[in-house]
Amino acid sequence: MMTTQTTPVDATRQERYGVTRRKNITITESSHRQIEEWAEENGAYFSVAIETLALIGLGVEDAALLPRLVGNTVERVFQRQFHRLAKLLAVTAIAAAESNLKVDALLLQLIRREAAVDPDRFVQNMTVSSDPTERLDARIRQMRDDMKAMIHAQAIAQLKPSLEDVLLLLDWAESMPGGAEVDGDG
């Protein structure tokens, strides 16, 4: 007598693990290798592969197995892409922190230099008024705004080819059967 599967095909991983049981089995090296190859070809975890192959052997229709395989594959791809995104965000955060520290160091050096040149008036010399009638201060603020715009444009121009390369690489990886590892470190 064949039993029907009680886990809904759209069940989450947590729901699915809540209704499965851990089993320890012994199989031959040859069987292990074949199941592992089948799992890799289908982008599935070993446990999903062994369960799917067992159900196929029991005569369960392929259409009933497909949602589990697809769900497992989507989960693996999502995990792989999530780690890549997290890595990119971490690299970005590190670069931003580095830039902030460099600017901080430059600002401190500028303040030190100004203090050495005119110790009694360096605070007054460093202060830039926001009063539009102060022509020199207005020119200083305009120069700052122009520099910010120029640096922003340079950063975008510098990052754009890198981002385009990353997007092309991710598109290529998604087009590969079973996905592909983009980075060389695992």
Domain count, the chain: 1
pLDDT for the residue numbered 37: 92
Q: Could you tell me if residue 184 is inside a domain?
A: yes
With respect to residue 80, please indicate whether it lies within any of the assigned structural domains.
no
166 or 145: which leads in pLDDT: 145
145 domain-assigned: yes
- Determine, yes or no, domain membership for 97: no
pLDDT reported for residue 33: 94
Q: In the chain, helix, strand, coil percent, each to 5?
A: 70, 0, 30
Average the pLDDT over 164-176 and give the result: 65
Determine, yes or no, domain membership for 120: no
- Residue 186: the pLDDT is 37
Confidence of residue 61 (pLDDT cuts 50, 70, 90): low
pLDDT of residue 109 exceeding 80: yes
State both tokens at 1.
Answer: 């007598």
With respect to residue 42, please indicate whether it lies within any of the assigned structural domains: no
Alpha carbon distances (Å) from 26 to 22, 32, 91, 96, 153:
13, 9, 44, 52, 62
What pLDDT does residue 117 have? 92
Would you say 38 and 55 are in contact if contact means Cβ atoms under 8 Å apart?
A: no
113 in any annotated domain: no
Range of the domain at 164: 128-186
Give domain status of residue 39, yes or no. no
56 is written with which tokens?
């196929």
For the whole model, what pTM was predicted? 0.39
Q: Residue 6, SS3?
A: coil
φ, ψ for residue 121 (rounded to 5)?
Answer: -120, 15
